[in-house]
Structure 1
Amino acid sequence: MASMQMERKLIANLGNQTPEVIHAERYMKWSNPHLGPLPPAIDAGNEIKIDYFVSKGAVVYVEPVLKEIGTSRAWVVAWDTLADTLIPPSPNKVYVTCGSKYEIEKMSDDEILEKLNESTSADGSHTDPITKATVEANLSHLIPDCNALKANFGISP
C-alpha cells in the first residue's frame, strides 16, 4: 500500500540559548514552497513561536561574527511531517547539525534534504567540538493534522 503524503500544520518553538541575537539565513521549503517569509531573528535567551504550513522544510540560523572564535556559529534544523503515521507506522523526523557558519554555508539545500531523508528519528541533537555550538530538536504529534517542533540553539560550556 502506497503511503499518502498529507500536509499538516507545524507549530515551531525555536529557542536561542546563546548570548547573541541569531538570524535566519536560509529557509528551505520542500512542501508549500510559496508560503511564509524567512523566520524572524531570535533575541538572546528568548524563544519564538511560529505556525508553519510547511510540512517539510529547514532553517539555518547564524550569529554575528565573534572575535574570540573568528567566525560565526550556525545551526540547522530540518523537519519532515509528511510521513504516513498510520499504516505502516512511519515516524516524523528531524535532522540537526551545527558548527562554523563557513562549514554550514557549504552545505547545499539538496545535501540538507538528503540528510533529512536519511534520518529515522523525531529527535536530534548535535554538538560541534570546535565552535561549541549545540542544537537539540524534537518533533511530536499534537492532533491528527498538527505537529509540534521544539528546537534549541545553544553553546556548550
Structure 2
Amino acid sequence: MFKLFRKKDIDYNIYSPVNGKQIALEEVNDKVFASKMMGEGVAFQNIDGVVIAPCDGEIVMVPDSKHAVGMKALCGIELLLHIGLDTVKLKGEGFEVLVKVGDRISKGDSLVKVDLEFMNSKGIDLTTPMIITDADDKGITVIGNDSVRKGENIVIEVEK
C-alpha cells in the first residue's frame, strides 16, 4: 500500500562502458534508439575508443560487423552495446573485438577497441547506445550523469 514511500531495493548496478559524455537515449540521432523501440537505456559519446563491460556477465552476441556486443548480466538482464550509428555498414572495419560468444566477463574487462582516427576519417557518429533489451518487466532507473568514467559511474540501476 505504501510502496511509494519505500526505499528502492537495488539489485544490480550497470556502470558506464566508456569514458566520455552521457546523453539521454531520446537525444540519440537514430529513431530506433531514440524512440526506445529496442528498450530502455542510455547513450554515450566515447572519447577514448575503448568499450568495457559495464557489469559482470556473459557475452551472448557479437555480429560479424563487430559494431555491437550483446551480453547477459549476472542479474539476468540482457544488454546491447551498439558502438556508433550506422556502423554496421563498415563490415567490421575500424573495430577490434576482444571477446567472443560464451566468454564470461567481469565489470571493467575490455570488449572492443575502436579506431577513432579511422571513424573520424569516415565521418562516423560514434554515439554508443547501451540498451536493456528486456526492460519491460524490470524496474530500471537511468541515472543522470554529465561526463562519465568507464567502470566508475553508475548509469543504470536495476531493482529487485
Q: Does TM, scored on the shorter chain, surpass 0.5?
A: no
TM-score, with length taken from structure 2: 0.28
Structure (1/2) with the larger helix percentage:
2
TM-score, with length taken from structure 1: 0.28
Higher relative contact order, structure no. (Cα contacts within 8 Å, ≥ 6 residues apart)? 2
